[in-house]
Every structure is written in C-alpha cells, then in structure tokens.
Chains A and B, each alone.
Chain A
Amino acid sequence: MTYMQDTVLKMNGICKSFPGVRALQNVDFTLCEGEIHALMGENGAGKSTLIKVLTGVYTKDAGEIYLKGNNKPVHIKSPEEAQKLGISTVYQEINLCPNLTVAENLFIGRSNNLFVNWKEMNKKAEQVLTGLGIQAKPTKQLSACSIAVQQMVAIARAVDMDCKVLILDEPTSSLDDQEVAKLFKLMRELKSRGVGIIFVTHFLDQVYEVCDKITVLRGGELVGEYQVKDLPKVELVAKMLGKELGDLASIHNEAQSADDKKKEAVIEAEGLQSVSGIKPFNFTAYKGEVTGFAGLLGSGRSECVRAIFGADRVIKGRLKIKGEPVHVSSPIKAMKKGVGYLSEDRKRDGIIGDLSVRENIILALQVMKGFFRPFSKAQAQAFADEYIKLLDIKTASADTPVNALSGGNQQKVILARWLLTHPDYLILDEPTRGIDIGTKVEIQKLVLKLASEGMSITFISSEIEEMLRTCSRLIVMRDLNVVGELKGEDMTQDKIMYTIAGGVSQNEQKQ
C-alpha cells in the first residue's frame, strides 16, 4: 500500500473516454481525512466526469481507486455501491424526490427493512435536521420547501450517511450568502469529525474561504495539486485557463457613445410596461452600442428586456424598432423585426437538449422562415459549421446532442442560434452565468466585436465588473424602476452602487 496513514481516498491514473472525447486522461487524485479539497477546472475540464467515475455513474476505462479500509482497489459499479462504500454525493441539480416528504428524502434507499416506520423516521429526521440547524419539518413535502432548503436536505442526507468521502458538486449555486455561511460552518464541522470533502465550485472566493487543498484539472488532464495557502488566486485562475491573465484586463469598451443624436436608434421604448409588474420605463438603444441593465437581483433587469422582446405581454407604452412603431405581442414578431433574446435560464428557455447542435443552431432562423419550408440538410450543415468554427464550439460534431456539451459550449450554441438570424438588436441576459472564465472572456470579446460591426446589444450580468468592461452605457434599476443612466467616466462600481441606492425613478422625474 502506497498511501499515507490518513489518506481516505486515492485515485490513480483514471482514464475515461466517450465517443469522440477523451474526458479523463491519467488523472490522479488524493483525499485525506478531515480535509476540504477543492476540485477546480473550467467547463469540460473533467471535474464532473471524475466525480461520476468515483460515484459509479460511469465506469472508468483504466486506473485504480483505493479507499481506506479496503486493501484492494475498489470497483464502483453503481451509485448504490458507492453509497455502501461511504461515498456520498450532493449534486449540482438537487437529486431528491420532490413528491416525497423531507424525512423520506433523508432515509429512502438506505434501509433494508421491509416496512417503513414513519414515526421513528420522522423522529430521526427531526434530530438530523436540528443537529445541522436546518429549518424544515420532516413531514413536509419536499416540493413545498424552498430550493435552498431542498439543497440543505440533500446535504443532510449525505452527511447522515456516515460517509468517509463527501462530494459537494456546486452546492452553493442556489444558496444565498447566509445559507452559504451555514453550509461552510457545516463543512468545517464535518472536517473536524474527520470526513474528507471534495468541493466542486466555480466561486474562487469560496475556495479560499473554506478549502485546504486544490486539485486543478484542465482538458481532462491533471494540472496539479496545491495547498491553498501556497497558491494565490491569480495563479489558480492562470492554471485553470492554462494561460496568463492579461486577457481579462485587456478587454475594455473604448467606444464611447459620443453624441446620441447623430446615432441611429434601433430600439425606442417609451413608458413601456408589461404584465410582469415592471414600472413604465423609457429606453433607447443605438446602433453599434452595448447597453446594460444593472441592478440587484429582482430589480427588473430581465423584465425590461422581456417586455421589449414580447416575452411578457406589454400592457402600456410605445415601442419603436428602427423608427417604426410596433406592437410586439409575441417573441416571433420581435424576431421578425430583427430582435434576438438569449434568455437567462438556458436550461429552461433556450436549449433543447436532445436535439443536435446543428438543429439547435438553426432553430430560431427556421422559426422565422416558417416550419413548412425546412432548410436542406446541406444548408443547415453549412450554417452549423460556420458558427461552430466562428464561436469555437467544442463538440464532437454538429450531430452531437447538445446535452453532451459542457455549459459554456451550450451557451455558445444558443448564441450561434441568435447570431444566425442576423439581428439588429440582440439581448444577452446573463450569458456568462455558470460558465468558465475562458468562455466568459470569449463571449465578452465577441459582444464588443459584434457591436463594432454595427449591431446593437444589451448585455445583462450580475457581475458589475463584467458590465463595466463590456457596456458603454448602463441603465440602473431598483425595485422594478429605472433609476438612472450612466455612461463614460461615470461608469464606476461606486457610482453604480450609489445610483442603485439613491437614484430617482424615471416616472417620478416626469412629474
């Protein structure tokens, strides 16, 4: 046995291939008892594949897995088996049954008793939940709980399974700061009990807050294992990207909106109001300009652009597209007027996972053309190839189902879909959420390039820095009101926050 005394898990030379893709190539990973170990990498680096190999969802092609307490390498063939070996996982998408109660979700699949003792189960659930400070009633149906609570229940389940190895796969993506703090407290508690925790996340700050070690993967290969204290953040990013950080800093939108009157207005909204509850707002977008909607979550950023696109029914106000008054009662009308909208939630509104990359790319154009005049396969293939190349979409072929792509590449596919319709005005609602830094930079660059070619773009992001880098004009929102507009030298973080806090609503200004 080569592993050290307190090593709980050791993976040696793990390989895994899928048709057309080598997802993992000779990857080593070591986890010690009482350690929080971050597994980092861009989308497509192989983090998820490694986790799935470890949990028995995939079978490895080569390599060995050693677990403490087993003298021989273990062969994990199913999640059930992984569970029995003491490997518990909390996945990114909550893997619980919404139709069962909280208590059942904690205990189902874990006992071999023929009968269920509800009383005892609820009592035990109560103990587990209070022990971890989770406020949920054991008898409550899970779907009636908030997403955050559901996530906590999933973690409680894993924790309660007396696991030696706990895998947290992006557990913090649906939690707010307070809940994240609670989770970290819990992780430290488990750490002191000697549990080895593998923590997969996109958030760098969280890694530095809670982790001891970092293992970085890139393109299916191991980059290295580091102590957190020895690896500055900048270096971590550089290692994940495999290049220096200069790229990020170099992007800045130099094109200032000089004189509005000389420019051609693409979108003019006046007192627009929709069923979403948004207050009437005025907004103008000019040709060749990147505008942004800034504000806190829920301030109405998305609602504004949804009204322009006709995704929410407009109940008041006027909208002109390229100077022509229009009434966009549905997205298809907006699309025909040259408006594109890349929605916030790509899983729900954008991607059709079972269709191929090619079909997803031509979808919007096909809708505009009408379904009774389909594109020939060659034509569609040509479109797809063009944009796969242009946006550098990493896919085995144009026929690959979009599901098989990583998040960042899925986003590029949707972007390609809209670019193919050659819109005059393109709305990008959180296009960079949940995707890796490399793709983020590419998308930001692309936005600026498109604008310089004359497209008008509205860019919405939760990251203010990103907005500052990309946009030339910012519309600031608070509580469903437009409260200010910033451009040029006024566009600084401080100024934005000041405006969010104290700006005056457009509607009040008029009076």
Chain B
Amino acid sequence: MIKMNKTLSAEGVSVRRGRQPLSDSSFLLTITISMFIAIYALAIAFLGDKGFSKIQMFFNLFNENAALIVIACGLTIVMISGSIDISVGGVTALICTACTVCLNNHGFNFYTALILALAIGLAFGIIQGFLVAYMEMQPFIVTLAGMFMGRGLVALIEVNQIQVRNEAFEKLSGSRIIVPFLGDYNKKGVFIPSKLEYGVVVAILIVIVCYLLLKKTRLGRSFYAVGGNAQSALMMGINVRKTRFLAHVLCGLLAGIGGFLYLFHTRSGSVQQATGLEMDAIAASIIGGTLLTGGVGNVIGTLFGVLTSGIVLLVVTAIGSQDPWWPQITRAAMLCFFIVLQSIICSRKKK
C-alpha cells in the first residue's frame, strides 16, 4: 500500500509538471538569480571582513556596471531577435572620445554631448540594421565592421587618452544620490549613508523600459517570434525585416545611452577604452538566460547576468588573487555552465 502511494505521488509530480512547466525563459532566469544570491551569500559569509557585508558594496556593483547593464540590454534584444551586435564596444569608445573632445574644445555642454552620444549610437544601429535586415548580410560580419569602424574613428579623432575638462560636466558626474536609510558604520562607528551614481538610476529605468517593451508591446513580442522562427513569423504576418531592423536600431540607441553612461562614469576617452565590452555584454546576456540562437531571454536575467559577473570579479579579487586571469577563468566556467544548460534545453525541445 505504501509502495503504491509512492508510485502515485511520483506520477502526481510528473502530471503536475506536464500541466504547468516552467517555460525555458523563466527556468534560466531562476537559475541566474539563485546563482547570484548564492554567490553573494557565500561572499558575505566567508569574505564579510573584506567589505562584502557592507551595503555600499552592493551599490558599488551597480555604480561600476551601469553602462554595461544598458549595453547588455541592447544586446539581449538583438540576440532575442536572432541577431548579434559586436560593435557596441567600439561605439562606446567612439562616444567617449568624441564627446570628450567636444566637451573640452568645442563648447559642448552636458545635453549637447548626450545628443551627440545618442546620435552616434543611433547612426551605427540604423546603418547596421539596414545592412542586416534589408541587405540580408550576416550580422556578425556587419557589426564586426562596425566595431573596427568605431575604434578606427576614435584613433582618427584622438590617439592619446584624454580627460574631460568641463567643470559643469565633471561636477554633475561627481555628484551622488544619497540612498535613504541605508548605509554602513565605519570603524569609528559613524554612519555613512550609501551613495548611488545617477547613471544607475538611468540603467535601472532602461531595464524596466526594456522589460515592458519585450513583455508588453507588439514590437517586443515580434522580436521573440522572429528569433524563434523567422519563417513562421513571416507566415504569421509579421514584418520580419522591419523587426530585425528595429532590433538593431534599439541596440544602437542603447549603446549610445550606455556609451554616454560610460563616459559619465570614467570621464575620459581612449582608443583602448571599453575593449571587450561587447563580449562582456554578450556573456552577461547568456548568463542571464538569453539563447544565442534567438527567441529566448529577458532583460531582468541580463541585469542579473551583469551583477553575477561583477560579483564574481569582486570575489576573486578579494580572495587575494591579483592575477588577471582568475576572473576570466571563473567567468569562462560560468559561461560553460550556462551554455551546457541551454543546449540541454534545446535538445529537450527537439524531442
């Protein structure tokens, strides 16, 4: 009788699973979030004395990665639509240098610099989007060219590293938001409230907007449809070319915003700036549950992908290894883990 009950309950589980399975997207998202929490908890438990128990540490994670969050959101959108954009690092470097030069020498203020940044991002997005969607060129090749173009233009403008020398901009960039009620006590027992950069607010807003865009709008769902099966999407009456085009334009625009946040954070520009940023963004998207093959992913996951990468970096540094390769190797392991997970999901789907 007991044995029978057991088999019954086992069947019950499978039935329940069959009725309401966790969708691929939310399954991967759950994994990412739990991983972030687990790593953070472990860091607090074992490395608490190295600053991980401080609330400011948590906010620093955002302060350092605001630009990456925005750029990774753009990549997530492009990847969901089944495409890729590896030009964002180059675009970021171009924006930083171009804006710095304009701020220093051409009398630009904060707003005109912002417009310039958005224009650069949009221009890249529109040109690349046009080539990918309407000329049906390989997105990887097109954006590879975009990447070279970005870096090349930086060198054309200015070969050396340059600092922003614009008082108003520097003042704005240096200001912080005081987070109410949260903060840490220093060694003397004085309460120091936590500080947040303005860029973080923008980044979080962007994440929310992207989330709503992907979840609640016709365009957002079209990205998923095109990435899931472009042929079907066409048959179902979706304008596939336009959708692909808009995905790239959006990614370009977000690269513009992200690039400006990068400048806002670093206040400098150079040829070598933001090298490999596009790869960081792709990695964050994948860790966040976006499928490189398209159709699956969301920006909440991407946000946690960026944070997870960030915390791993901090933990590895805190453990005491100053060697630059350990964070890389850890990230490689994380990527592997997620790619294996994704391929398991894909193969399950084929059955």
Q: How far is A33 from B183 in the complex, measured between Cα atoms in Å?
A: 74
Q: Are A109 and B24 in touch, CB under 8 angstroms?
A: no
Q: Are A80 and B218 in touch, CB under 8 angstroms?
A: no
Q: Is A191 an interface residue (CB 8 A)?
A: no
Chain B residues, CB < 8 A from A376 = none
Name the residue on A nearest B227 (C-beta).
Answer: A99
Within 5-31 of B, Cβ neighbours of A (below 8 Å) are at 19-21, 23-25
Chain B residues, CB < 8 A from A157 = 236
Q: Are A100 and B224 in touch, CB under 8 angstroms?
A: yes
Q: Are A116 and B217 in touch, CB under 8 angstroms?
A: yes
A80, A83, A109 — which one has the most chain B CB atoms within 10 A of its CB? A109
Q: Is A329 an interface residue (CB 8 A)?
A: no
B interface residues (Cβ-Cβ under 8 A, vs A): 19-21, 23-25, 215-222, 224-225, 227-229, 231-239, 295-296, 349
Q: How far is A111 from B238 in the complex, measured between Cα atoms in Å?
A: 10
Name the residue on A nearest B220 (C-beta).
Answer: A116
Mark the stretch among A90-98, A196-204, A243-251, A380-388 that contacts chain B.
A90-98
Chain A residues, CB < 8 A from B228 = 97-100
Chain A residues, CB < 8 A from B236 = 79, 95-97, 105, 108-110, 157
Q: Is A89 an interface residue (CB 8 A)?
A: yes
Q: How far is A143 from B233 in the complex, measured between Cα atoms in Å?
A: 15
Chain A residues, CB < 8 A from B19 = 137
Chain B residues, CB < 8 A from A112 = 218
- In the A-B complex, the 10 residue pairs with the smallest Cβ-Cβ separation, listed nearest first, are A109-B237, A99-B228, A99-B295, A97-B228, A109-B236, A95-B232, A80-B237, A95-B235, A109-B238, A141-B23
Q: Are A79 and B234 in touch, CB under 8 angstroms?
A: yes
Q: Given A80-B238, A91-B235, 5 other A-B contacts at CB below 8 A?
A: A97-B233, A109-B238, A118-B216, A137-B19, A140-B21
Q: Is A35 an interface residue (CB 8 A)?
A: no
Name the residue on B nearest A101 (C-beta).
Answer: B23
Q: How far is A91 from B231 in the complex, measured between Cα atoms in Å?
A: 12
Q: How far is A101 from B227 in the complex, measured between Cα atoms in Å?
A: 14
Name the residue on A nearest B26 (C-beta).
Answer: A141
Q: How far is A91 from B237 in the complex, measured between Cα atoms in Å?
A: 14
Give the residue of A98, A109, A140, A144 whose beta carbon is less than 8 angstroms from that of B229: A98
Q: How far is A363 from B268 in the complex, measured between Cα atoms in Å?
A: 57
Question: Provided the pairs A79-B234, A96-B232 are in contact, do residues A104 and B239 lie with their beta carbons within 8 angstroms?
Answer: no
Q: Are B225 and A109 in touch, CB under 8 angstroms?
A: yes
Chain B contact residues, majority secondary structure = helix
A97, A100, A114 — which one has the most chain B CB atoms within 10 A of its CB? A97
Q: Are A97 and B237 in touch, CB under 8 angstroms?
A: no
Chain B residues, CB < 8 A from A116 = 215-218, 220-221
Q: Is A113 an interface residue (CB 8 A)?
A: yes
A-B contact pairs, 21 of them (CB 8 A): A79-B237, A80-B239, A94-B232, A95-B235, A96-B232, A96-B236, A97-B236, A98-B228, A99-B24, A99-B25, A99-B224, A99-B227, A100-B225, A104-B225, A105-B236, A109-B222, A109-B237, A115-B216, A116-B221, A140-B21, A144-B23
Q: Are A111 and B231 in touch, CB under 8 angstroms?
A: no
Q: Are B24 and A141 in touch, CB under 8 angstroms?
A: yes
Give the distance to chain B from A95, nearest Cβ to Cβ, in Å: 4
Q: How far is A263 from B234 in the complex, measured between Cα atoms in Å?
A: 58
Q: How far is A94 from B236 in the complex, measured between Cα atoms in Å?
A: 11
Give the residue of B217, B231, B238 whose beta carbon is less than 8 angstroms from that of A115: B217
Give the distance to chain B from A96, nearest Cβ to Cβ, in Å: 5
Give the residue of A80, A97, A110 whose beta carbon is less than 8 angstroms from that of B232: A97
Q: How far is A104 from B221 in the complex, measured between Cα atoms in Å?
A: 8
Chain A residues, CB < 8 A from B224 = 97, 99-100
Q: How far is A151 from B21 in the complex, measured between Cα atoms in Å?
A: 20
Chain B residues, CB < 8 A from A111 = 218
Chain B residues, CB < 8 A from A97 = 224-225, 228-229, 232-233, 236, 295
Chain B residues, CB < 8 A from A80 = 237-239
Chain B residues, CB < 8 A from A94 = 232
Q: How far is A114 from B217 in the complex, measured between Cα atoms in Å?
A: 6
Chain B residues, CB < 8 A from A144 = 21, 23
Q: Are A83 and B237 in touch, CB under 8 angstroms?
A: yes
Q: Are A114 and B235 in touch, CB under 8 angstroms?
A: no
Give the distance to chain B from A122, nearest Cβ to Cβ, in Å: 13
Q: How far is A112 from B222 in the complex, measured between Cα atoms in Å?
A: 12
Q: How far is A144 from B19 in the complex, measured between Cα atoms in Å?
A: 10
Q: Are B231 and A99 in touch, CB under 8 angstroms?
A: no
Name the residue on A nearest B291 (C-beta).
Answer: A99
Q: How far is A114 from B216 in the complex, measured between Cα atoms in Å?
A: 9
Name the residue on B nearest A139 (C-beta).
Answer: B20
Q: Are A113 and B221 in touch, CB under 8 angstroms?
A: no
Q: Are B235 and A89 in touch, CB under 8 angstroms?
A: yes
Question: Provided the pairs A97-B224, A99-B224, A110-B237 are in contact, do residues A141 and B21 lie with their beta carbons within 8 angstroms?
Answer: yes
Name the residue on A nearest B212 (C-beta).
Answer: A115
Give the distance to chain A from B238, nearest Cβ to Cβ, in Å: 4
Question: Provided the pairs A83-B237, A143-B349 are in contact, do residues A108 and B221 lie with their beta carbons within 8 angstroms?
Answer: yes
Q: How far is A79 from B234 in the complex, measured between Cα atoms in Å?
A: 7
Chain A residues, CB < 8 A from B234 = 79
Chain B residues, CB < 8 A from A99 = 24-25, 224, 227-229, 295-296
Name the residue on A nearest B18 (C-beta).
Answer: A144
Chain A residues, CB < 8 A from B295 = 97-99
Chain A residues, CB < 8 A from B221 = 100, 104, 108, 116
Q: How far is A115 from B237 in the complex, measured between Cα atoms in Å?
A: 17
Q: Are B225 and A108 in touch, CB under 8 angstroms?
A: yes
Contact with B along A130-161 (1 / 0, CB 8 A): 00000001001101100000000000010000
Q: How far is A80 from B235 in the complex, measured between Cα atoms in Å?
A: 7
Q: How far is A487 from B41 in the complex, measured between Cα atoms in Å?
A: 71
Q: How far is A113 from B216 in the complex, measured between Cα atoms in Å?
A: 11
Q: How far is A233 from B109 in the complex, measured between Cα atoms in Å?
A: 83
Give the distance to chain B from A149, nearest Cβ to Cβ, in Å: 12
Q: Are B349 and A114 in touch, CB under 8 angstroms?
A: no
Q: Are A109 and B233 in touch, CB under 8 angstroms?
A: yes
Give the distance to chain B from A338, nearest Cβ to Cβ, in Å: 32
Q: How far is A80 from B237 in the complex, measured between Cα atoms in Å?
A: 4
Q: How far is A79 from B19 in the complex, measured between Cα atoms in Å?
A: 34
Question: Provided the pairs A108-B221, A116-B216, A116-B221 are in contact, do residues A95 and B231 lie with their beta carbons within 8 angstroms?
Answer: yes
Name the residue on A nearest B295 (C-beta).
Answer: A99
Q: How far is A89 from B231 in the complex, measured between Cα atoms in Å?
A: 14
Name the residue on A nearest B294 (C-beta).
Answer: A99
